[in-house]
Amino acid sequence: MSLFFLRSSKRLIKLLTSMTFSLLLCHLLSIPPLFAIVTTCFALENTSFDAVRNGAVRLGSALVGAGFALVFYFILGAHPLMYASVVIVIILIMNVFVYKRFTMIASITAFAIMPSMFDHHLEFYSERVMSSMIGIMVSTVVNMYVLPNNFMPELRNKYERLIEQASIISPLNSSTKKLIQKRLNEFERMAAKQKKQWRLRPGNADETRQLRYFEHQKRFLAELFQQQFSFSEQTTTPYIVQFIMRLPAHYRKLGRAERRKLLHWLDTIAPKIPADFKVNYEYVMQLLFVLDRPSYLHTFQHDNQQKKHVKA
């Protein structure tokens, strides 16, 4: 929840910053600021890369919407049919050029310009187009340099959720399988956003290594989940196997010495595990290997402290 409020507050700050600079520029250039304010509300993006890539397309969308508004005004005049005609043409153009996401920008620009075109000259049309372009360009720059998004905290949280889910070993029903797959997909989407964010502004070495670590662990956990999906209810499961299957849920609460003793005990009882339950035993051992690895963030911080101590 705190990450949600943090992301919302950062987005609000970006929006207010974009509006402020758009107003200032429009005031300096003596341009009506309304269209700049409207376009800034729809031009914010999650990543800097999307802001630059989509900013150029949005500029074209604004020009398309304003251009068709001007053309249809001179053809049809001040007629209600003009509004419907402009929207239909804009939707067709955007679908042909595969820019469906920016149909809204073009339509809003056209609708905002059309009522103000009556009894005005072409220079007023140019001012309104320039106002829309200022809003788009300012929001693009703000997206890049003002509080750029960092998805690493959310990635850590999603990784911890995957670890907690993997620790609970039981035959999975359809709803639990969907939940696990949803969490895996959310992790992949968040990792893709972070990589995209770094395409224009590369992250520091610490976070880059953390992301690679999380992705490696996520792939390993996905393989373990696939094995867990194959488990089925067995009413005749030996008690020792039932006990072993419950260990991961409590493993992270143990100290280092207790973990070593437990792993040594599991090695000694390996020959006693029935052949039909070897898969369960191997699954638990692989999962304990993942859980036994210390937090990557803490490990890296410890390494940095040691390096600083050696330099000192």
Asked if 16 contacts 139 with a C-beta cutoff of 8 angstroms, the reply is no
Place of tokens 């053809």: 75
Each residue's pLDDT tens digit, 216-275: 888 888 888 877 776 655 557 788 888 888 888 888 788 888 888 888 888 888 888 888
Q: Is 192 helix (H, G, I), strand (E, B) or coil?
A: helix
Token pair in block for residue 201: 């502004």
Between the ranges 36-40, 69-73, 124-128, 191-195, where is the mean pLDDT highest? Answer: 191-195
Asked if 53 contacts 197 with a C-beta cutoff of 8 angstroms, the reply is no
Cα separation of 245 and 43, whole Å? 50
The confidence score (pLDDT) of residue 118 equals 59
Return the half-sphere exposure (C-beta side, CA atoms, 13 A cut-off) of residue 192: 7
Helix intervals (H) in 77-173: 80-96, 103-113, 122-145, 152-167
Max intra-chain CA distance, the chain: 92
Between the ranges 57-71, 166-180, 199-213, where is the mean pLDDT highest? Answer: 199-213
Q: Is 120 helix (H, G, I), strand (E, B) or coil?
A: coil
- Of the candidates 186, 193, 194, which has an alpha carbon nearest to the alpha carbon of residue 160? 186
Cβ burial, residue 229 (10 Å; 0-12/13-18/19+): middle
Cα separation of 247 and 62, whole Å? 60
Average pLDDT over residues 10-30: 87
Cβ burial, residue 131 (10 Å; 0-12/13-18/19+): buried
Q: Is 78 helix (H, G, I), strand (E, B) or coil?
A: coil
**What does the DSSP assignment read for 193-207?**
HHHHHTTTSPPPHHH
Using the predicted structure, report yes or no on whether residue 110 has a pLDDT greater than 70.
Answer: yes
Using the predicted structure, report yes or no on whether residue 302 has a pLDDT greater than 50.
Answer: no
Using the predicted structure, report yes or no on whether residue 297 has a pLDDT greater than 50.
Answer: no
The confidence score (pLDDT) of residue 6 equals 66
**What does the DSSP assignment read for 225-237?**
HHHHHT----TT-
Q: What percent of the chain has pLDDT over 90?
A: 0
